[in-house]
Structure 1
Amino acid sequence: MIQSAPLASLTRLQPAGQYLLLGSGLILYGLSLRLMLNAGIGVSPWDVFHVGVTRWLPLSVGQVSILSGLLLVVYTALHLRERVGPGTLLNVVVIGLVMDLLSEAVPHPTRLLWQCVQFALGVGLIGLATGAYVGAGLGAGPRDSLMLGLQRRHGWPVARIRTGVELVVLVAGMLLGGPFGWGTLAFALAVGPSVGFGLGLFGLGARKAQQS
Structure 2
Amino acid sequence: MSLRSVPAALPARLLQLVLGLFLYGIGIALMVLAHVGVAPWDVLSQGIASSSPLSFGLATNVVGAVVLLLWWPLRQKPGVGTVLNVLMIGPSAQLGLTLLPAPEGLALRIATFAGGMLLLALATGLYIGARLGPGPRDGLMTGLHARTGWPIWQVRSLIEGSALLLGWLLGGNVGLGTVAFAMFIGPLCGLTLGWFGIGRPQPAPRAP
Same fold (TM over 0.5): yes
Instruction: Return closer, same or farther for 1:20/1:51 CA change in 2, 3 Å cut-off.
Output: same
Corresponding position of 2:36? 41
| AA at the equivalent of 2:75 | R
Corresponding position of 1:118? 112
Provide Cα deviations, 1:86-124, integer angstroms capped at 9, x if missing partner. 110000011001011121222211211110111001111
Corresponding position of 2:49? 54
Identify the match of residue 128 of structure 2 among 110, 113, 134: 134
Query: Are residue 83 (structure 1) and residue 74 (structure 2) matched?
Result: no
- The percent of aligned pairs where both chains have the same amino acid is 43
CA contact (8 A) 1:150 1:161 kept: yes
Shift of 1:20: 0.5
Q: Using the alignment, how far apart are the partners of 2:8 and 2:200 within structure 1?
A: 21
Corresponding position of 1:22? 17
| AA at the equivalent of 1:71 | V
Structure 1, 192-201 or 101-110: larger mean CA deviation = 101-110
Q: Using the alignment, how far apart are the partners of 1:92 and 1:47 within structure 2?
A: 14
Structure label with greater radius of gyration: 2
Query: Are residue 171 (structure 1) and residue 165 (structure 2) matched?
Result: yes
| AA at the equivalent of 2:67 | L
Provide Cα deviations, 1:135-177, integer angstroms capped at 9, x if missing partner. 1111000000100100111111112211111111111111111
CA contact (8 A) 2:51 2:171 kept: no
User: So what's the TM-score if we normalise by structure 1?
Assistant: 0.91
Shift of 1:125: 1.2
CA contact (8 A) 2:30 2:97 kept: no
Shift of 1:72: 1.2
Shift of 1:29: 0.4
Shift of 1:206: 6.0
CA contact (8 A) 2:47 2:171 kept: yes
Identify the match of residue 160 of structure 1 among 137, 154, 162: 154
Query: Are residue 70 (structure 1) and residue 65 (structure 2) matched?
Result: yes
Show structure 1 runs of 4+ deviating over 3 A: none
Query: Are residue 8 (structure 1) and residue 1 (structure 2) matched?
Result: no
Cα-Cα RMSD: 1.2
User: So what's the TM-score if we normalise by structure 2?
Assistant: 0.93
CA contact (8 A) 1:126 1:194 kept: no
Instruction: Return closer, same or farther for 1:45/1:206 CA change in 2, 3 Å cut-off.
Output: farther
Residue aligned with 2:110, SS: helix
Q: Using the alignment, how far apart are the partners of 2:180 and 2:199 within structure 1?
A: 25
Q: Using the alignment, how far apart are the partners of 2:58 and 2:152 within structure 1?
A: 28
Q: Using the alignment, how far apart are the partners of 2:61 and 2:200 within structure 1?
A: 28
Q: Using the alignment, how far apart are the partners of 2:120 and 2:191 within structure 1?
A: 10
